[in-house]
């Protein structure tokens, strides 16, 4: 449900929650069916009261244990270093806030997945706070109707429970909700009329009303994706066509260059080769055949312009070989190590080049060595959004080690805060519009990073902690 929609029924529920948490310590149970708006109410309350000293939020998941859920709550109430202890919530607060004021509200969404042990600890904490003049602790449990009855029945110290039931929308809120969040997705008048007709036959809850817009949202997304794919395909085809034509032009140019560089037959040489045949044909009479006799033996011997000795070749057929002075000296001295030495030097040069290339590759993967705080960037984000807290440590070196260990360079934002008069560095991951999207992002993280128990955190609380350190 959008935060911009103002509905009368939701405003009354919100005011009732504020009234219960304003004065005393209470256990508040907010019950509603699936899609009734429990998560929206939890998010809205999480960002509403800026005067709360400490506010903690837990989104329960089926795979969480009692220790993990306690860790998430205590990490927000005190310091993350307490996550390794087996102390209960009451024992930890008594140890660190025994003689100090403690005004805090703990919000638990999907509380029907809350572990039995942690539910007992929350009830014990409320009873303790009711007997302490310096403490005011409220616990708000959002769950399905009757989901916590069996678990609460076995709790030893059970305080009074303040119950709030989320009803369906009235007609006025239903009309406002449809006009602002559902009908704008329909592009045709027939689609809008159909939405109103179906809305009259279903329960007026946010989840079921929003489901009426899903077919039109999906169609719009499908058309956008189809157009994007079509554009990408056209660009790829155009690029391929240009590349093939370019390669064809290059090949043509290469062929022309090869034809130009080929040696041509000299005209004098062709004429010389054809002269004997032509002269012989000219001496033949055309009327009758003439018998030819070989009288070469009667001719004197041909005059030789140049004598040729045994082992000599024509100057035109000889090839010139250039030999270095070192090789000549080695041949004279009978030393064959010159060629071997040259080979060794060439091999050494190749090895040296490979070593330089390898060292360059390794240097490119060097981890970051300095920590940059993203305080201003976090302060500029809307306080209605949420982020994932991945870790909180007490030194910059620990923060750097965490980022390098999980390869989170340039993927996280880090800020500094003060907890219990001690400096902390908190590592956060991206920002999201709702808590649901934040929890989904936590489940998409790598398994080794999920073991560090990341938890959703409102940007309002992040900004409060940043300002606390200034």
Is the domain of 116 the same as that of 45?
A: yes
Looking at residue 290, its pLDDT comes to: 46
State the CATH number of the domain containing residue 405. 3.30.70.1070
State the pLDDT at residue 463. 92
Is 268 within a domain? no
Which residues are registered as beta bridge partners of 457? Answer: 387
For 408, other C-beta atoms within 10 Å of its C-beta total 17
Element (H, E) at 404: helix 396-405
> What local confidence, expressed as pLDDT, does residue 112 receive?
92
Do 34 and 150 reside in the same domain of the chain? Answer: yes
Query: Where is the domain boundary, 109, 138, 167?
Result: 167
Nearest residue to 58 (alpha-carbon basis) of 129, 134, 135, 143 = 143
Q: What pLDDT does residue 224 have?
A: 63
Q: What angle do CA 256, 259, 262 make, to 5 degrees?
A: 150
- The first and second tokens of residue 189, run together, are 């008048």
Q: Are residues 96 and 223 in the same domain?
A: no
Question: DSSP label at 291?
Answer: -
Q: For the chain, how big is the Rg over CA atoms in Å?
A: 44
Q: Give the number of other CB atoms < 10 A from CB of residue 133.
A: 7
pLDDT given at position 205: 83
Assess if residue 59 is contained within a domain: yes
Q: Is residue 445 part of a domain?
A: yes
Domain membership flag for residue 201: yes
Say yes or no: 199 and 78 in one domain. no
How high is the pLDDT of residue 220? 52
Q: How far apart are CA 19 and CA 148, in angstroms?
A: 23
Q: Quick one: 410 and 447 in the same domain?
A: yes
CATH code, 115: 3.40.50.300
Looking at residue 343, its pLDDT comes to 43
* Domain finish residue from 238, 273, 294: 238
Is 178 inside any structural domain?
yes
- The answer on 217 and 140 residing in a single domain is no
Tell me how crowded residue 406 is: count the other CB atoms within 10 A of its CB: 18
Joined together, the tokens standing for residue 275 give: 């002269």
Q: Is residue 7 a contact partner of residue 36, using CB atoms and an 8 Å limit?
A: no
150-167 burial, b at 16+ Cβ within 10 Å, e below that, comes to ebbeebeebbeebebebe
Residue 345: inside a domain, yes or no?
A: no
| Judgement on whether residues 82 and 28 belong to the same structural domain of the protein | yes
30 shares its domain with 139:
yes
What pLDDT, in 10s, does the model give residues 342-377? 444 444 443 334 443 444 444 334 678 889 999 999
Residue that terminates a domain, selected from 222, 238, 254: 238
How far, in Å, CA of 193 to CA of 196, rounded?
5
What single-letter DSSP state applies at residue 434? S
The sheet carrying 422-432 orders its strands as 413-419, 422-432, 386-393, 455-458
Residues of the chain with pLDDT under 50: 1-3, 265-272, 274-290, 303, 305-323, 325-328, 331-332, 334-365
In a domain, 270, yes or no: no
**Whether 14 and 95 share a structural domain:** yes
Domain count within the chain: 3
Evaluate whether 118 touches 70 at the Cβ level (below 8 Å). Answer: yes
- Can you give the residue range of the structural domain that contains 223? 168-238
Q: Give domain status of residue 465, yes or no.
A: yes
Contacts of 379 (CB under 8 A, 6+ apart): 463, 466
Q: Whole-model pTM?
A: 0.53
Alpha helices (runs of H) in 297-395, residue ranges in sequence order: 325-333, 337-364, 375-379
Distance CA 387, CA 318 (A): 82
Looking at the structure, tell me whether residues 160 and 175 fall in a common domain.
no
Q: What is the pLDDT of residue 111?
A: 93
DSSP 111: G
- DSSP codes, 295-308: -GGGSPPPPPSS--
Task: Report d(CA 242, CA 249) in Å as an integer.
Answer: 11
| Residues 6+ away with beta carbon under 8 Å from 431 | 381, 385, 386, 387, 459
**What tokens were used for 470?**
């200034």
């Amino acid at each position: 449900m959008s935060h911009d929609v103002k509905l009368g029924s939701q405003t009354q529920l919100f005011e009732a929650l504020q009234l219960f948490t304003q004065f005393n310590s209470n256990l508040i149970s907010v019950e509603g069916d699936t899609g009734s708006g429990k998560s929206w109410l939890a998010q809205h309350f999480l960002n509403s009261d800026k005067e709360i000293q400490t506010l903690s939020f837990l989104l329960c998941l089926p795979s969480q244990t009692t220790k993990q859920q306690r860790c998430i709550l205590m990490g927000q109430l005190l310091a993350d270093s307490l996550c390794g202890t087996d102390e209960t919530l009451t024992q930890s607060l008594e140890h660190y806030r025994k003689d100090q004021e403690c005004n805090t509200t703990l919000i638990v969404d999907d509380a029907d997945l809350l572990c039995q042990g942690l539910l007992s600890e929350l009830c014990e904490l409320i009873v303790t706070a009711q007997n302490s003049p310096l403490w005011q602790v409220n616990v708000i449990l959002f769950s399905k109707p009757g989901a916590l009855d069996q678990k609460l029945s076995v709790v030893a110290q059970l305080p009074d429970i303040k119950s709030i039931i989320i009803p369906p929308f009235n007609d006025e809120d239903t009309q406002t909700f449809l006009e602002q969040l559902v009908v704008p997705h329909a592009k045709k008048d027939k689609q809008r009329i159909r939405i109103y007709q179906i809305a009259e036959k279903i329960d007026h809850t946010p989840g079921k009303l929003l489901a009426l817009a899903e077919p039109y949202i999906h169609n719009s997304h499908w058309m956008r994706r189809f157009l994007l794919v079509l554009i990408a395909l056209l660009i790829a085809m155009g690029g391929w066509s240009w590349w093939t034509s370019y390669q064809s032009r290059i090949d043509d140019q290469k062929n022309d260059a090869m034809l130009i560089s080929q040696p041509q037959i000299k005209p004098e040489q062709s004429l010389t080769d054809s002269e004997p045949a032509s002269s012989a044909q000219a001496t033949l009479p055309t009327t009758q055949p003439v018998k030819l006799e070989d009288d070469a033996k009667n001719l004197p011997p041909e005059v030789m312009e140049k004598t040729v000795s045994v082992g000599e070749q024509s100057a035109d057929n000889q090839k010139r070989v250039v030999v270095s002075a070192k090789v000549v000296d080695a041949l004279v001295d009978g030393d064959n190590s010159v060629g071997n030495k040259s080979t060794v030097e060439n091999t050494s040069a190749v090895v040296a080049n490979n070593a330089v290339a390898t060292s360059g590759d390794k240097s490119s993967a060097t981890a970051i060595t300095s920590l940059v705080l993203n305080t201003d960037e976090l302060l500029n984000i809307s306080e209605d959004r949420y982020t994932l807290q991945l870790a909180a440590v007490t030194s910059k070196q620990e923060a750097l080690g965490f980022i390098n260990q999980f390869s989170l360079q340039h993927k996280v934002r880090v800020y500094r805060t003060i907890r219990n008069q001690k400096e902390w560095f908190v590592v956060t991951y991206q920002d999201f519009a709702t808590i649901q999207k934040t929890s989904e992002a936590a489940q998409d993280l790598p398994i080794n990073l999920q073991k560090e128990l990341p938890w959703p955190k409102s940007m309002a609380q992040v900004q409060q902690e940043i300002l606390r350190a200034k």
